[in-house]
Amino acid sequence: MRTTATIGMLALAVALGVPHAAAAQVRIKDVATLNGYQPVPLVGYGLVIGLNKTGDRRQTMFTAQSLAATLQRLGVAVNGETIKIENTAAVLVTAELPPFARTGARLDVTASSIGDARSLQGGVLIATAMRGPDGGVYALAQGPLSIGGFGGGTGTTSVQVNHLTVGRVPAGGLVQQGQRVQLAASDRILLSLKEADFVTAHRLADAIEMDLGSESARAVDPGTVEVTVPQAYRQSLPDLMARLEALKVIVDVPARVVINERTGTVVMGADVRIRRAAVAHGNLSVRIATRFDVSQPGSFSQGQTTVVPREKVEVNETQARLVTLDEGVTLDEVVRALNALGVTPRDIIAIMQALKESGALRAELVIM
């Protein structure tokens, strides 16, 4: 029932949010950007502190050395080779600096563990310098991490939900210096589509021509639209971009299935189609349980009490049901067929990958 409800809500969200991919109207600013002004990737090395004994252990030497160096800058002299750390993890911090971000703007940053930390849950990223390709410091990142999951327990008794060694700090990056870019006066500008598509590029050019006039825009290729700047806007390109970005365009969306294996999330687009295929899916599970029995020697035998481990192995295989998918079925029919199999989201991931390999899935398969 739970699986059926989950997949059913997925189909309902697609049906309500996108009646048909070809009829999805969006603003130009959501599908295209001004060519020549690109974001800059930033990266930095930092420490996450405040973990509950889930941080890097002794074999990750650079974490202890980094912590010692940080404490020394704060006036505390310690030896990095002797301190024991459990509440600290070394991370690489990444972000993108938008082309027109200025000093004081905020960025979302991602922190990824590079040591042997088990979890970043509850951690706080301390001030980390974010550097660009030229080595310059463009931003400083700091703040509490959000990891979208949780974990608990130690040793053999533990529970984990989702991926715990990558986290985000929303608005945790503070820009120290922006890119030195200016909009120069020009009689032509290029708009770059975020996702190249011949149909979308043609429709975008048509939408601009309807607003600025005939022959004011043309699709150069599936990822670029050239716009002739009217005389009134040649000295004020920001005003022209403000006018163009608000225009609506009908976007053609490719058939796509997006899979996130870390969280077990599957999102299917409305135009996903499947060729005729038969699908059977079953699960094989092996459970090994260890029970420790105490062997007590007899009285006056001078024997020793020993612990004897006894293992119990259980192998279960669920009965697979065979379901036939007809040629050209729609998303609703795919959802109903998967519900008939009683599959979980992680089962859907395996089924979609198998359908793609067999050539039955008529959609792009994106694995995050």
Q: What is the mean pLDDT of the chain?
A: 78
pLDDT over threshold 70, residue 159? no
Residue 330 confidence class, pLDDT cut points 50, 70, 90: low
Q: Please name every residue paired with 44 in a beta bridge, in sequence order, or none if there are none.
A: 93
Domain boundaries, the chain: 2-14+255-283+319-367, 21-36+182-251, 40-175, 285-314
pLDDT single digits (tens) 207-266: 999 999 888 999 999 999 999 999 888 888 889 999 999 999 988 877 888 877 777 777
Tokens of 2: 């739970």
- pLDDT given for residue 191 in this prediction: 93
The domain 21-36+182-251 is placed in CATH, from the list 3.40.50, 1.10.3470, 3.30.1360, 3.30.70, at 3.30.1360
pLDDT single digits (tens) 278-294: 777 665 445 555 565 66
What gap in Å lies between CA 142 and CA 44, rounded to an integer? Answer: 11
Residue 1 confidence class, pLDDT cut points 50, 70, 90: very low
pLDDT over threshold 50, residue 27? yes
- pLDDT given for residue 332 in this prediction: 64
21-30, 118-127, 303-312: range with highest mean pLDDT = 118-127
Short-list 290, 286, 337, CA closest to 310: 290
pLDDT over threshold 70, residue 295? no
Q: What is the pTM of this model?
A: 0.60
Question: Which residue in the block uniquely carries the two structure tokens 């998918």?
Answer: 325
For residue 310, the tally of other CB atoms under 10 A from its CB is 9
- Determine which of 125-129, 179-183, 223-227 has the lowest per-residue pLDDT on average: 179-183
For residue 129, the tally of other CB atoms under 10 A from its CB is 17
- pLDDT given for residue 23 in this prediction: 56
E strands within 253-305?
Answer: 256-260, 265-268, 273-274, 277-281, 284-295
